[in-house]
């Protein structure tokens, strides 16, 4: 297909990666990202900024240890922005949930990842935490991957997500790691079209994100590489060289959408 718009320079796109995992792990075939090498990786692919979360916070209890270690690990690196992995507090009620969010905000954290592979999106289970996050307009990445970028959505999860998003209309919910062995769930585009606070990040997705951008709008798609589990190069070039999107639309996807969500955090 012949491009209808000139291809932009990466510097013009101001890439803001919404999904990077920091920390040591035992999986073979991947080079862990640490404070010492992450900036070199970003520079290699022309990525200006990144949201980062701790690998152990996704996989090892207590998650609080990994979350707090992350803040210390990236201190003094302004291109990196911390994300905490959160689960519903064991104690029900607004007070416990607000305490978790207050600690997160006090640490300077403006985004969260919610591990769907560990805790199903039952509204009664998440409502206290989501209400506390909604008070601050904290963007929440709904993480379907266990310990990498591979995950998937079931029919019941799509329905639970719809109910949760409608119950918390001021809470940005970003589908993350939803590309599994069978592709992306058919209902993702209809869901995003119907529920205005649901977004999609492109971690692990080579083509499906285009359907969302073309049919629903570029403002509902967030750039994400899933590094170090996915090579950022192909995801960068997929957006940069898309033949149909305008420069404005590419800039929305590559970083401006995420910047807007983070700026709205209260």
Q: What is the pLDDT along the chain (266 residues), one digit of tens a residue?
A: 555 667 888 999 999 999 999 998 866 678 899 999 999 999 999 999 999 999 999 888 888 999 999 999 999 999 999 999 999 999 999 999 999 999 999 999 999 999 887 777 888 899 999 999 999 999 999 987 665 556 677 778 889 899 999 999 999 999 998 765 556 788 889 999 999 999 999 988 888 899 999 999 999 999 999 999 889 999 999 999 999 999 999 999 999 999 999 999 99
Distance CA 74, CA 23 (A): 11
Residues 13-263, CATH architecture: Alpha-Beta Barrel (3.20)
pTM of the shown model: 0.93
Ordered by start, the domain boundaries in the chain are 13-263
Distance CA 78, CA 146 (A): 28
Characterize the bridge pairing of strands 198-201 and 80-82. Answer: unpaired
């Amino acid at each position: 297909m012949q491009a209808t718009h000139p291809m932009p320079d990466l510097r013009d796109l101001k890439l803001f990666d919404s999904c990077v995992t920091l920390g040591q792990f035992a999986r073979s075939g991947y080079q862990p990202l640490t404070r010492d090498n992450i900036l070199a990786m970003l520079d290699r692919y022309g990525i200006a900024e990144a949201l980062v979360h701790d690998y152990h916070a996704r996989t090892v209890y207590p998650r609080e240890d990994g979350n707090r270690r992350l803040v210390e690990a990236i201190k003094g690196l302004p291109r990196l922005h911390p994300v905490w992995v959160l689960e519903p507090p064991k104690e029900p009620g607004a007070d416990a949930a607000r305490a978790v969010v207050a600690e997160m905000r006090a640490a300077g954290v403006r985004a969260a990842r919610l591990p769907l592979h560990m805790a199903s999106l039952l509204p009664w289970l998440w409502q206290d935490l989501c209400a506390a996050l909604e008070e601050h307009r904290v963007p929440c990445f709904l993480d379907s991957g266990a310990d990498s970028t591979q995950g998937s959505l079931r029919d019941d999860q799509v329905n639970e997500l719809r109910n949760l998003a409608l119950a918390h209309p001021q809470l940005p919910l970003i589908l993350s790691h939803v590309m599994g062995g069978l592709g992306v769930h058919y209902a993702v585009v209809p869901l995003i079209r119907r529920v205005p606070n649901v977004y999609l990040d492109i971690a692990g997705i080579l083509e499906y994100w285009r359907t969302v951008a073309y049919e629903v709008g570029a403002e509902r798609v967030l750039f994400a590489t899933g590094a170090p589990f996915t090579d950022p190069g192909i995801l960068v070039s997929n957006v940069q060289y898309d033949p149909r999107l305008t420069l404005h639309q590419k800039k929305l996807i590559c970083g401006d959408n995420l910047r807007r969500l983070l700026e709205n955090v209260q």
